[in-house]
């Protein structure tokens, strides 16, 4: 306890004293047995939760205490984005060891609060506890989406075009950059992608509310894994073109600097939190005319299930794209 005795109630009061309210649906916030929220009948509710655990999801050597809190919330927000929803409320489960002082714990919570403010999330509760060693966060989010408008993983059909937002592999390479202690502008761009991911909330909403996307998932485990999940849920296959996969200049430069092939990070690297989605051909013209908040790239096409999930290289050869994304349980 770093020599300072304190009560859970005091700590909760200190942490949550500055929490801001962003939703008119809130009736009762932090401080009772439950938060109370008005139901909005014009919307469906989205529910998701994500664990963010020291040594599994982050290493304190590469993350400030604020960044730990911020990334936990941002990663969870990406699941709301992937349904086409807007975030509303959050509950935070926060367990930490005695080696973390109350002030440090407040700093972690401050990182959550800052991210919550940025994305208009109202913190409505949660719980605190001790662990022996690790900082552990569990971020539960309640979001909403127009009635029947949630974009599922299961709606892709053969002929749909596959898109991905932003660029791939940067968060993966950003972790390498941090581990190796690389510096410079490119290294800085990549390490920021690892430490401060950007959930694609506005893009997800545009895709959902205008009915563009037939299926969607966020790229949290890596393209190979997440495209696999989408195809499995939809009962389809996919054909991806390697040369169409979006990579940034920073990514290319650092790969060169490290004598690394660019393909592995792009195909399998996790934590980019980009949106991977499919658009039926008859909606393409309308989609291409629509102003969207982030660049997106067409990377391939949905095919019959029997064709599997394949990636075509520029020399014309194809290979099965097997999931090689992140798996805590094989680490």
Contacts (CB under 8 A) with a copy of itself, residues 227-266:
233
* Kind plus residue range of the DSSP H or E element containing 255: helix 249-257
How far is Cα 252 from Cα 226, in angstroms, rounded to an integer?
23
130, β-bridge pairs: 96
**43 binding a copy of itself? (CB under 8 A):** yes
- Output Rg (C-alpha) for the chain, integer angstroms: 21
Question: For a copy of itself, which is the closer residue by CB, 285 or 330?
Answer: 330
# residues contacting a copy of itself (CB under 8 A): 76
Among 46, 72, 175, 236, binds a copy of itself (CB under 8 A): 46
**138 binding a copy of itself? (CB under 8 A):** yes
Q: Minimal distance in Å, beta carbon 41 to a copy of itself?
A: 4
- Which CA distances in Å does 208 have to 24, 42, 46, 148, 303? 22, 15, 13, 10, 22
**132 binding a copy of itself? (CB under 8 A):** yes
Which region, judged by CB under 8 A, interacts with a copy of itself, from 32-40, 168-176, 182-190, 310-318? Answer: 32-40
**307 binding a copy of itself? (CB under 8 A):** no
How far is Cα 290 from Cα 206, in angstroms, rounded to an integer?
9
Question: For a copy of itself, which is the closer residue by CB, 69 or 239?
Answer: 69
Pick out residues in 55-114 that bind a copy of itself (CB under 8 A): 55-57, 79-80, 82-83, 85, 89, 91-93, 95
Q: Minimal distance in Å, beta carbon 93 to a copy of itself?
A: 4
**289 binding a copy of itself? (CB under 8 A):** no
Which region, judged by CB under 8 A, interacts with a copy of itself, from 5-13, 173-181, 184-192, 241-249? Answer: 5-13
**Secondary structure class of 200 (helix, strand, coil):** coil
Q: Minimal distance in Å, beta carbon 217 to a copy of itself?
A: 6
* Kind plus residue range of the DSSP H or E element containing 320: strand 318-320
Determine phi and psi for 145, rounding to 5 degrees: -150, 145
* HEC assignment per residue over 47-69: EEEEEEEECCCECCCCCCHHHHH
- Which CA distances in Å does 91 have to 46, 51, 70, 138, 160? 14, 12, 14, 8, 37
Which region, judged by CB under 8 A, interacts with a copy of itself, from 25-33, 182-190, 195-203, 306-314? Answer: 25-33
């Amino acid at each position: 306890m770093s020599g300072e005795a304190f009560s859970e109630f005091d700590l909760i009061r200190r942490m949550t004293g500055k929490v801001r309210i962003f939703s008119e649906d809130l009736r009762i916030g932090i401080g009772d047995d439950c938060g109370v929220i008005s139901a909005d009948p014009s919307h469906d509710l989205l529910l998701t939760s994500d664990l963010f655990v020291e040594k599994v999801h982050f290493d304190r050597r590469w993350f400030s205490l604020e960044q730990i809190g911020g990334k936990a919330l941002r990663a969870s927000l990406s699941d709301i984005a992937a349904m086409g929803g807007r975030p509303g409320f959050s509950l935070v489960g926060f367990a930490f060891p005695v080696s973390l002082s109350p002030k440090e714990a407040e700093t972690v919570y401050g990182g959550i609060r800052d991210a919550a403010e940025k994305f208009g999330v109202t913190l409505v509760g949660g719980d605190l506890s001790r662990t022996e060693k690790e900082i552990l966060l569990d971020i539960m989010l309640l979001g909403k989406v127009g009635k029947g408008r949630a974009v599922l993983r299961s709606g892709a059909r053969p002929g749909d075009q596959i898109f991905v937002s932003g660029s791939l592999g940067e968060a993966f390479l950003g972790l390498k950059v941090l581990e190796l202690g690389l510096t410079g502008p490119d290294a800085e761009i990549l390490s920021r992608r690892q430490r401060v991911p950007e959930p694609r909330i506005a893009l997800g909403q545009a895709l959902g509310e205008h009915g563009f996307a037939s299926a969607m998932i966020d790229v949290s485990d890596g393209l190979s894994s997440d495209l696999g999940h989408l195809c499995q849920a939809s009962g389809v296959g996919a054909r991806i073109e390697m040369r169409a996969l979006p990579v940034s200049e920073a990514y290319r430069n650092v790969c060169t600097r490290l004598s690394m092939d660019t393909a592995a990070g792009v195909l399998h690297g996790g934590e980019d939190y980009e949106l991977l989605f499919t658009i039926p051909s008859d909606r393409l013209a309308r989609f291409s005319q629509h102003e969207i908040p982030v660049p997106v790239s067409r990377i391939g096409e949905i095919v019959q299930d029997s064709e599997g999930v394949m990636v075509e290289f520029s020399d014309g050869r194809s290979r099965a794209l097997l999931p090689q994304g992140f798996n805590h349980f094989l680490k």
